[in-house]
Structure 1
């Protein structure tokens, strides 16, 4: 099973805006698991940001800010 370290590694490997669905598919996890992973990664110091605007078609997109 994927961990928050896998999440951080994936997001760092391809600097882009990720939809939650894309992250779930890449990591092979359910969206509920992804939410827990995001929380753990943030608590461990990962600067994971979320945006929801015209540029993203008003859908939630996540990115790993510079570390």
Structure 2
């Protein structure tokens, strides 16, 4: 099972904008587990941004902002 550290490591190793499905596929988790992992990673200090608007085709896009 993936952890929030796995999520962060994946997002750092391939810095890009991710869809929830892409993250689920890469980590081998269901979207419900991804939500829990995102919450844990954010509470641990990871600056994970989520955007959902016309620029993203009204779909969720996620990225990790380092710094």
Given the two structures, how large is their TM-score scaled by the length of structure 1?
0.93
Find out whether 1:34 has 2:34 as its counterpart: yes
Counterpart of 2:9 in structure 1 is 9
Unaligned 5+ segments in structure 1 are none
Q: Distance in 2 between matches of 1:3 and 1:34?
A: 9
Q: Distance in 1 between matches of 2:16 and 2:6?
A: 16
Q: Distance in 2 between matches of 1:41 and 1:21?
A: 18
Unaligned 5+ segments in structure 2 are none
Counterpart of 1:53 in structure 2 is 53
**How many residues align structurally?**
67
Q: Distance in 1 between matches of 2:66 and 2:42?
A: 13
Q: Distance in 1 between matches of 2:9 and 2:53?
A: 25
- The alignment yields a C-alpha RMSD, in angstroms, of 0.9
Counterpart of 2:62 in structure 1 is 62
Q: Distance in 2 between matches of 1:5 and 1:38?
A: 10
